[in-house]
Chain A
Amino acid sequence: MPAGTRVRWAVVSATSVALMATGCGGGGSSSSGGSSDASKTFTYQSSEPQNPLQPANANETGGGRIVQNLFKGLADYDPSNGKLRMQVADTIDTSDAQTYTVTMKSGWTFHDGTPVTAKSFVDAWNWAASTKNNQINSSWFGDIQGYADVHPQSGSPTSDTMSGLTVQDDTHFTIKLTNKVSYFPYKLGYVAFSPLPEGFYKDPAGYGQKPVGNGPYEFVSWDHNSQVATKTFANYQGVDKPKNGGVVFKMYTTAEAAYADLQSNNLDVMDQVPPSALANYKNDLGDRAIDAPQGAIQNVGFTLYQPEWQGADKAKVRQGLSMAIDRNTITKTVLQGSRASASAWVAEGVEGYKAGTCGDFCTYNPDKAKQLIQEGGGVPGNSLKITYNADGGHKEWVDAVCNSIRQATGVNCSGDPKTDFKTARAAITGHQINGMFRTGWVQDYPLNANFLADVYRTGAASNDTGYSSPEFDKLATEADQAASIQDTATGYQQAEAQLATDMPAIPLWYYRTNSGFSTKVQNVTFDSFGNPAWTQVEVKG
């Protein structure tokens, strides 16, 4: 999804220290040593959920991270490397990338003791996809055959069930898609694909306040605006058995308050340190500071739908502009090390990430930059405007990028702030801007296809640049039909290489998790979604 308001979901942890482009600190260090007590709970900085706690209704961080701990779907992503990992599913097989057969493990139960069966999944998905139930994440089921019957664009649904879902027995069901999507199992890691217990359908609103799931933690209480308490579910069957007694989500309205609590040990793990603490948090916290990569990237896109930016020559101009940006200096100074310079269009730590796809074009080189811009016939009007939203803390780096471009190439560059995110998005999607705009992408699932197909394919929902390359489209379609996820990832790497030639958007830097933990916990690591590996946190005895 476009970067801005963060929406994160999976229970993952990726401490891919080796992948860091500009090594600055260890990703997810832990002051290990002392003994731990598996019955003790720890507190985590959170925000009051904005929707009832239903899996298909949790698309914002506050509710999302609670729901992902209470529920567990067919698969999730491995804490150590972000790769897809089977949970309730034993296998998800396909021979044609269009019909998937799910075989489930036995023994899984919900927190109320009822068994998790194939029906628990199929009924839950049908319920969530139906327009009748107003679930915010309903569009996630759009790949499944029969979605249009339960979710018509207007009017009432003609059916309560999607024809693509067939229960075979308690532990087997099939999913038929409308198109070939070789990486569909990756989507199944999203919390919207969680199962629901029988009791849910009798009182969905009541279950939204007191959810009953099948995840590592069971719901204890929701003290509104104050905290949501969970405890470890004794009969949890997943591969990631909790090493602690539960997570207590404490609601904070400001990161500053949370950071003050963390420093005085009233909060155990925090989400993201406030910008005011970025410069000092590593000194304040010592080896309890976290600096880990996130599956999110910041770009500036070009208005390729305008004639003056079209043609092979202008690709040279765009490459030149990319080389005029001193990424390393800006990330270190203006952004205080909270970002890492990008060398590709896919964020580091994501399956299929390949460093250096952008090659020399993402390396600062003022002379080459000037030369390329000249060869391409110069920037139209020798001036550039970068449109951005003024409410997201972007002003500083946009100005820095413009300074860098101006000093390196003599092109007049300036920022073009729009009041807020909504206004900026409206201008971008309405094609009411000139030249360049801030854009970005936060992973929906840690696979390179998500960073490429959803943004650069012709006509993709988030293709804001208007980029249309027959070569890229062809390679992406081939990758979608690959036999395995590995082949898909490789296929998309080839498609990504095309972006270096065309440069529809300039990759700037990857987001990082800047966080920390109290002296009461250890073994805290963060994944590429910016969430801690919840079940792995140990509370000192």
Chain B
Amino acid sequence: MGHYVLRRVLQMIPVFFGATLLIFLMVYSLPGDPIAAMFGDKAADPATVAHLKHQYYLDQPLWKQYLHYMNNIFHLDFGTSFTGRPVSEIMKDAFPVTIRLALVAFFFEIVIGLPLGLIAGLKRGSIADTLVLLVTLVVISIPVFVLGYIAQTVFAINLGWVTATVQDSRDISQLILPGLVLASLSLAYVARLTRTSIGENLRADYMRTAVAKGLPRRTVVGRHLLRNSLIPVVTFLGTDLGALMGGAIVTEGIFNIAGIGNVLYKAINQKEGPTVVGIVTVLVIVYLVASLVVDLLYAVLDPRIRYA
């Protein structure tokens, strides 16, 4: 187990370098000059442009810029954005917001998605099953921004139950609506995955044995059926946590949440290299850690899987 984890952590190192290099190259190959863009439509003043380029190290060849950047990273310096704020400070502000939103969404995925899938899977063909299939189909086929605007108009503007946008992201109750919208698509997938998985495992030999042994239904479903059926669901949930963090741009935009998605979007538009590379690097690490945790969870769920 320990060896396995160590090996996986060591594998992250080349991935980290590869990812930062790729992102770095991509940001710097975006069209347009970020310094000239700071002047808007006015003709950029060449003397000021030259000075600013020097200040942001942009007058150096690309490989030197990358070495300079990596060297700073090892001194835990993520660089400075054009606003004069250290990128590390920007991330310190934005990541907690996104993590809170992602956790709220994650919570709904599990608390709503799993039971829906369980009910539908246990009673295949019933009205409940058909209903779950229908609702999830609708949710999957509607783009998230449509869902977001509908929820905002109905619950905030028409009914006035919640504020239209998030006024204070530290208030979890304000994150419920955006969290639900963000969770909606994955929630539908979780329900459908669980339903299929349960349906398959219901016919497994060990289930027949468990029932034949005369175990109470709760034990049969809880310990034998659910535990085995969760493996594909956990795989999905694990990778989804990473997707929730980086892919919340649309939801963050609709509900005006100052999370990582918003900051990243703005930084890409302004071609702020240090901010983009810093944020995406952290996202890559989050993704790697999440997939490691998923792999370790397999062993917990399925006794047949062991990591030497």
Interface residue ranges, A against B (CB under 8 Å): 1-5, 7, 48-52, 59-60, 131-132, 134-136, 138-139, 151-154, 205, 208-209, 224-226, 251-254, 256-258, 260-261, 263-264, 266, 421-422, 425, 461
Contacts and interface: CB of A to CB of B under 8 A. Distances in A.
Contact of A5 (B41, B48, B50, B52): B41
A49 B83 contact: yes
Contacts of A422: 31-32, 37
Contacts of A49: 83
8 contacts: A5-B40, A153-B46, A225-B258, A226-B258, A257-B253, A264-B163, A264-B164, A422-B32
Contact of A131 (B47, B82, B256): B47
Nearest to A263: B157
A59 B39 contact: yes
Contacts of B50: 154
B90 interface: yes
B126 interface: no
A256 B254 contact: yes
A138 B47 CA distance: 10
Contact of A261 (B43, B83, B164): B164
A139 B164 CA distance: 42
Interface stretch (B109-117, B189-197, B261-269): B261-269
B269 to A, nearest CB: 10
Contacts of B167: 266
A252 B51 contact: no
A224 B85 contact: yes
B83 A252 contact: no
Interface string B34-64: 0001111111011110111001000000000
Interface residues of B, number: 46
A224 B90 contact: yes
Interface string B133-176: 00000000000000001001100110010011101000000000
Contacts of B55: 134
Contact of A151 (B47, B82, B270): B47
Candidate in A1, A208, A226, A257 with the most chain B CB atoms within 10 angstroms: A257
Contacts of B253: 253-254, 256-257
B88 to A, nearest CB: 13
B78 interface: no
A461 B40 contact: no
A261 B256 contact: yes
The 9 closest A-B pairs by CB, nearest first: A225-B258, A260-B164, A257-B256, A2-B41, A52-B84, A264-B164, A5-B40, A131-B47, A4-B41
A224 B85 CA distance: 10
Nearest to B272: A50
Given A49-B83, A50-B83, A422-B32, A154 B258 contact: no
Given A225-B93, A253-B253, A208 B84 contact: yes
Contacts of A139: 42, 45, 48
Interface in B197-253: 252-253
A257 B165 CA distance: 7
Contacts of B266: 48, 253
B225 to A, nearest CB: 44
B116 to A, nearest CB: 29
Contacts of B94: 225
Contacts of A5: 40-41
A7 B41 contact: yes
B262 to A, nearest CB: 5
Contact of B48 (A136, A205, A260): A136
A50 B275 CA distance: 13
Contacts of A253: 252-253, 256, 262, 265-266
Given A1-B42, A51-B82, A257-B165, A264 B51 contact: no
Contacts of A254: 253-254, 256
A261 B153 CA distance: 10
Interface in B77-128: 82-85, 89-90, 93-94
Given A1-B40, A258-B256, 11 more contacts: A4-B41, A48-B83, A50-B82, A52-B83, A131-B48, A134-B51, A138-B48, A257-B165, A257-B254, A422-B31, A422-B32
A2 B43 CA distance: 10
